[in-house]
Amino acid sequence: MEFWIELTVSIFLVTGAIFVFIGSLGLAKLPDFYTRLHAPTKATTLGMGCLLIASMVIVTYRQGYLSLHELLITLFLLITAPVTAHMLAKTALHHKVAILDKSSGKSLSQQARERMTPKE
């Protein structure tokens, strides 16, 4: 296999693995629901994108034609992860999931909860 293909795939694999590890570590170690939600939606999405691009490069090189399956999976992840995170955060606000005192933007969450509460 050509050196530059191997180098490109290796860089994408290592970068993707680092991002996935950081996202997983953030999910396990961060203190409250909202910060835990942030870690996998940002870091892990980028990490999986790198891993899938590495797969696309190696499959394209070995088969001799452009492989778009991995690109479609990457686009699907980039579209669905933020939407899912937004829905989970909105549900947590609705159910009044506690926010740590040291978290910044606590007043913003209070304003959002007030807007969601129906006026009687």
Give dist(CA 14, CA 47) in Å, integer: 9
What's the pLDDT at 68?
Answer: 85
Q: Flag whether pLDDT at 116 surpasses 70.
A: no
pLDDT digits (tens, 9 = 90+) for 18-63: 999 999 998 888 888 888 888 888 888 889 989 999 999 999 999 8
pLDDT digits (tens, 9 = 90+) for 87-107: 998 888 888 887 777 666 667
Give dist(CA 86, CA 77) in Å, integer: 14
In 3D space, the residue among 97, 114, 109 whose CA is nearest the CA of residue 36 turns out to be: 97
pLDDT digits (tens, 9 = 90+) for 75-89: 898 889 889 988 998
Say which residues have a Cβ less than 8 Å from residue 93's Cβ, sequence separation at least 6: 109, 112, 113, 116
